[in-house]
Structure 1
């Protein structure tokens, strides 16, 4: 009899242990990126993740580099920060990720407004070309000036 009760207790402990391990906590992190209008290509930290609206799983909080592109609209290059919730810091993170018996879902949503692309006017293009020409001429003058040549000779000696 004692042997059977001990065996039953061992089996119960094993079953309880398996159940306890299989029911450990888990944190699921999701980020949804929307654009207005929808349909923009979304690149997150130099990785293409899809067309908006798009939801992606993430593992860490912090600064994210965001790039959005859609035909007929200006390209958006920006950064956004995801701040960690209180339960993701020590010692609560261990409790929620390992001991909590259920699923914790952290969901975040970012929305970006895209502006219509405005091509530069002819006058703007002419002004830009004149500024570039002056800058190039100034650079050429600096490269061929006598002071620069003396400096080069000193460096060679």
Structure 2
């Protein structure tokens, strides 16, 4: 009897891909691997997704895992015992190429930062 219960569990899988591939993936602030990847999941709902790659802008978004009709109360009691039943969720994300910062812009920002620091270091004068 135990073998029937253990062998009939529904396999739930989330597959995450990205263009370009190789992005580091975080689900609900937990690092899970690099795209493309597939991983098991237990709970349906909305997941926080973060993708990071050196050549792309970081992406913070969400992914939704909707339950199939057989996962609702009633049919789920039967579905849990059907051998080999799978629920596969697929999310694909397009990453935006990172914007190259020119050295001239960095120099200008550094100059403004030094000027602002110099202003903030000056004592406040009392005007009577």
| TM-score interval, smaller chain | 0.7 to 0.9
Higher relative contact order (CA 8 A, sep 6+): 2
Moved more, 33-42 or 89-98: 89-98
Q: How many Å apart are 1:64 and its aligned residue? A: 0.5
Q: Which residue of 2 aligns with 1:53?
A: 36
More strand by share: 2
State how 1:5-154 maps to structure 2 within 5 Å. Answer: 18=1, 21-24=2-5, 25-98=8-81, 100=82, 102-119=83-100, 122=105
Q: How many Å apart are 1:48 and its aligned residue? A: 0.4
Q: How many Å apart are 1:120 and its aligned residue? A: 5.5
Q: How many residues align?
A: 108
Q: How many Å apart are 1:81 and its aligned residue? A: 1.3
Q: How many Å apart are 1:108 and its aligned residue? A: 1.3
TM-score, length of structure 1 as denominator length: 0.61
Deviating 4+ runs (over 4 angstroms): none
Unaligned 5+ runs, structure 2: 117-128
TM-score, length of structure 2 as denominator length: 0.74
CA RMSD of aligned residues (A): 2.2
Deviations 1:111-135 (A, max 9, x none): 111111114673xx86xx7xxx8xx
Deviations 1:30-54 (A, max 9, x none): 0010011111100011110001101
CA distance in 2, matches of 1:60, 1:112: 21
User: Greater CA radius of gyration, 1 or 2?
Assistant: 1
